Amino acid sequence: MLLPAHWQTVGVLLGAWWCGARVTDDPNGAQVLFQPPQPIIPVLKSLRVVALDPLGRGLSAPPPNAYDYLNEARVSGDDFIPRPTTSP
């Protein structure tokens, strides 16, 4: 995650922790990368761009090979069921 201190960053972090993801600020080896619209870091992994708009608007045109986090999250239901956790 390469996002600054912002209210949308909180939503991304809470969603990641809720589904059991490990969050890091190192994009090397990440399966999904969340970053602001500029500058775009070219990656071969799944790229999510967070617009960081004060009113929560998404991007009008996301960069190629990237998903606009806000536009994707807006149409998703709130019915995520995490996998059961196992103890070591």
pLDDT at 54: 78
Q: Answer yes or no: is 37 within a domain.
A: yes
- Domain extent at residue 21: 7-74
Give pLDDT tens digits for 15-62.
888 888 889 888 887 888 888 887 766 665 677 788 887 777 777 777
How many separate domains does the chain show?
1
Give pLDDT tens digits for 62-78.
777 777 877 777 666 66
Q: How far apart are the first and last CA of the chain?
A: 27
Structure tokens at 18: 């809720």
Q: Answer yes or no: is 1 within a domain.
A: no
Q: Answer yes or no: is 68 within a domain.
A: yes
Q: Answer yes or no: is 66 within a domain.
A: yes
Q: Answer yes or no: is 14 within a domain.
A: yes
Q: Answer yes or no: is 80 within a domain.
A: no
The structure's pTM equals 0.66
Question: Percent of the chain having pLDDT more than 70?
Answer: 77
Gyration radius (Cα) of the chain, Å = 14
Q: Answer yes or no: is 79 within a domain.
A: no
